[in-house]
Amino acid sequence: MKTVFSYAKPYKFYIVIALILMLLELIVELMQPLIIASIIDKGIVAKDQEVIIQLGIVLMALSVIAFVSGIVNSYFAAHASQNFSFDLRQAVYGRIQSFSLAMFNKFPASGLITRLTSDVTMVQQVLYMGLRIMLRAPLLVVGSMIMAFVVNPKLAFYLVIVFPFLLIFLYVMVKKGVSYFGFVQKRLDRVNRIVQENLQAVRLIKAYLRGKYEANRFSEVAGALKVDTVKAFRIMEIILPILLFGMNLSLLAVLWFGAFEIRSGGAQIGELVAVVNYAMRMTGAFTMFSFIIMIFARAKASSERIEEVLLAEDVHEKDEVGEIKAVRRGEVRFDNVSFTYPETLQPVLENVSFHLKANEKLAIMGATGSGKSSLLQLLPRFYDVTEGTVSVHGRDVRDWSLRALRKTIGIVPQQSLLFTGTISNNLSWGKDEVVQEELADAAVKAQIHETVERFPKGYFTRVGQKGVNLSGGQKQRLSIARALVRKPSILILDDSTSALDVKTEAALWEKLDRENATMLVVTQKIRTAMRANRILLLEDGSISAYGTHEQLMKSSELYRQIAMSQQEEEVDEYV
Ligand SMILES: Nc1ncnc2c1ncn2[C@@H]1O[C@H](COP(=O)(O)OP(=O)(O)OP(=O)(O)O)[C@@H](O)[C@H]1O
């Protein structure tokens, strides 16, 4: 909890004021039975009207002080806890933004959402409650006990006899509560995951008529969440009756032995009333304990989950970039690269080596699952190589700052991803301060300008979530334009033209060929590969062939087969 609560440091002032006010409220509360005892013994029993009036006024004044302290404490506690949770949420969000992809393997998106929302809310609550009642209740118990001893040690002794048992019981319950509520948060992760998957695949679910099946899947995880939450609350439910039972036993002992003490002159009536009053206050504080333990247990489990994110070890990043030698700009080199995904055993790339000079184009081909996308992900350092080196502009990618490295690379992913907003917003998304001409220029190159111009609102047409109102080919071309806007010196296209017709694709490549960028293009099409300076054919993560189209037609049986099959397909298309 230490790391999480270090985010409360800037609000020390508010926390200290809230604590002082809480202590003031507590002191007032502890004074009240003493004053009542005096009213009884020195006023009522001694029949002194003046003492009753004077002490009555003091009692009233103390109540007003407690009332005002309570209100101001609440204000300061809310200010500190709300600002603390805002800062903590920002920190967790910032940390997630800096995650490498390997970290997303470790922390699924749904779990991160729960940590950012419900987990942060839990620790915010614990700070607020801590400043309001969580500390006050145990202090009230301890304070009442001390005051009871001050009033009459003998009577107080009967009151605390059950305490050691209650403390052991509470310790066991807190431990159990923390582990149970940790489990509840994990269940919540699963519910979030199913909801997220469902919402993303809503079209597929409708097309496959899987609504009912998915509803059942949801009710299964929601049911598991309910069962575990009930289990955790059960623990909390038994705390209160047991605490009350223990306290009532003490109270009975105080009254029983108190009566003897009064008769034998060991105690006065007022003292007995005061000790009983303290006992009632302790019982009142105990009734809050089950609630406090629940909040504490949940917050502890949540803060552990937040700390997992904040303190997770990730790829090391260099701060300094230094000068890039102009002569090496655009160069890409893989030297004996092998790569295994984190938390898996089987390498997906083995001993891959190639070299591209500035503005050269490499086509990467291979069967599905052969490692094409994995290879591309090593360039912007989404993952680090397991062996060998990947260098960009003549420098190992691990020696770059991630910001500088990624600024130089334009990526068009396999699945086009657009954001809610206008087409213009989407195109300018990857670069600060772009002018409309730059967007249009990139759109012309990506063969999407004319299509956009035909939309009634042109570049200001709104794109729905993930581009729902655009065709697959339109999304792909917008994705390409978005990458071109950044004017990258290295451009990565991961099968990004698969949805384009032959004519549009040819026009696109005409433009891309003239771009001032080194390109790595994953493709399934021989006619696209033929445009590249060299072709790299991957088979199960290893290079099966490497060279120009002509060289591969001579040297690689696999490449020849692919080429032949595509020629036949093209002939079939025209028959
Ligand atoms: N995040 C990941 N964690 C673990 N294994 C992965 C991950 N992503 C991909 N793989 C595995 O790595 C291998 C290569 O996948 P990759 O996506 O690189 O293939 P690909 O050649 O691009 O395939 P496709 O043409 O279907 O996109 C596959 O066996 C896949 O199961």
45, 49, 53, 58: CA torsion to nearest 10: -40
Above 80 in pLDDT, residue 102?
no
Q: Please determine, for residue 553, whether its predicted confidence score (pLDDT) is greater than 50.
A: yes
Q: Count other C-beta atoms under 10 Å from residue 471's C-beta.
A: 11
Tens digit of each residue's pLDDT (9 = 90 or more) over 45-76: 888 889 899 999 999 999 899 899 989 999 99
Question: What letter represents residue 492's amino acid?
Answer: I
Ligand 1 contact via 373 beta carbon (within 6 Å): yes
389 Cβ contact partners less than 8 Å away, ≥ 6 residues apart:
333, 334, 335, 336, 337, 396, 398
pLDDT class for 406, splitting at 50, 70, 90? confident
Q: What does the pLDDT read at residue 378?
A: 94
Is any ligand 1 atom within 6 A of the Cβ of residue 368? yes
Among 334, 343, 333, 515, which Cα is nearest to 412's?
Answer: 515
Task: Tell me, in angstroms, the distance from the centre of ligand 1 to residue 101's CA.
Answer: 13
Distance 541 CA to ligand 1 centre (A): 10
Burial class (CB in 10 A: 0-12, 13-18, 19+), 72: middle
Dmax (CA) for the chain in angstroms is: 120
| pLDDT band with cut points at 50, 70 and 90 for residue 574 | very low
Give whole-number Cα distances, 55 to 42, 113, 280, 330, 408, in Å: 10, 56, 21, 88, 79
Angle at 554 between CA 551 and CA 559, to 5 degrees: 85
For a mutational test of ligand 1's pocket, the pick from 105, 107, 365, 370, i.e. the residue with the most ligand atoms closer than 8 A to its C-beta, is 370
- Whether ligand 1 lies within 6 angstroms of the CB of 374 is answered as yes
Q: Could you give the domains of the chain? A: 2-310 (1.20.1560.10), 326-408+488-574 (3.40.50.300), 418-487 (3.40.50.300)
pLDDT for the residue numbered 575: 44
- State the Cα–Cα distance between residues 535 and 545, nearest whole angstrom: 8
Would you state the pLDDT for residue 536? 95
Mean pLDDT of 393-416: 86
For the CA of 371, the closest atom of ligand 1 is 18
Rounded distance from Cα 540 to ligand 1 centre (Å)? 10
Q: Residue whose CA is closest, atom 17 of ligand 1?
A: 373
Mean pLDDT of the region 416-436: 83
**What value does the mean pLDDT take over residues 402-430?**
86
Q: Cα(first)–Cα(last) distance of the chain, in Å?
A: 71
CA 345 – ligand 1 centroid, Å: 13
The residue whose CA is least distant from atom 7 of ligand 1 is 341
By mean pLDDT, which of 232-236, 454-458, 486-490, 505-509 is the weakest? 232-236
Q: How far apart are CA 492 and CA 304, in angstroms?
A: 39
pLDDT digits (tens, 9 = 90+) for 268-318: 888 898 889 888 888 888 878 777 877 888 888 889 889 999 988 776 666
Ramachandran assignment for 368, one of left (phi > 0), alpha (psi -120 to 50 degrees), beta (any other)? beta
Confidence at 83, pLDDT banded by 50, 70, 90: very high
* Predicted pLDDT of residue 568: 67
pLDDT at 344: 85
pLDDT of res. 181: 82
Listed range (27-41, 118-132, 374-388) with the worst mean pLDDT: 27-41
Burial class (CB in 10 A: 0-12, 13-18, 19+), 155: buried
Say how far apart CA 410 and CA 442 lie, in whole Å.
Answer: 13
Q: What is the pLDDT of residues 491-503, one digit of tens each?
A: 999 988 887 888 8
- Average pLDDT score, the chain: 87
Ligand 1 pocket test: pick from 372, 379, 493, 494 the residue with the most ligand atoms within 8 Å of its Cβ: 372
494-538 per-position pLDDT tens digit: 988 887 888 888 888 888 888 889 999 999 888 889 989 999 999
Is residue 330 in contact with ligand 1, taking CB distance under 6 Å? no
Rg (alpha carbons) of the chain, rounded to whole number: 35
Q: Which of 410, 431, 412, 432 is CA-nearest to residue 489?
A: 410
Burial annotation 79-98 (CB, 10 A radius, 16+ → b, else e) = bbbebbbeebbebbeebbee
In the reported structure, the alpha carbon of residue 391 is separated from the centroid of ligand 1 by a whole-number distance in angstroms of: 22
Q: Is the pLDDT of residue 235 over 90?
A: no
34: region left, alpha or beta (phi > 0 left; psi from -120 to 50 alpha): alpha
- C-alpha–C-alpha distance, residues 559 and 480, integer Å: 27
In tens, the pLDDT along 326-381 reads 456 789 999 999 999 987 889 999 999 999 998 999 999 998 899 999 999 999 98
pLDDT for 418 beyond 90: no
Centroid of ligand 1 to alpha carbon of 522 (angstroms) = 13
- The pLDDT tens digits for 160-218 are 888 888 888 888 888 888 788 888 888 888 888 888 888 878 878 888 888 889 899 99
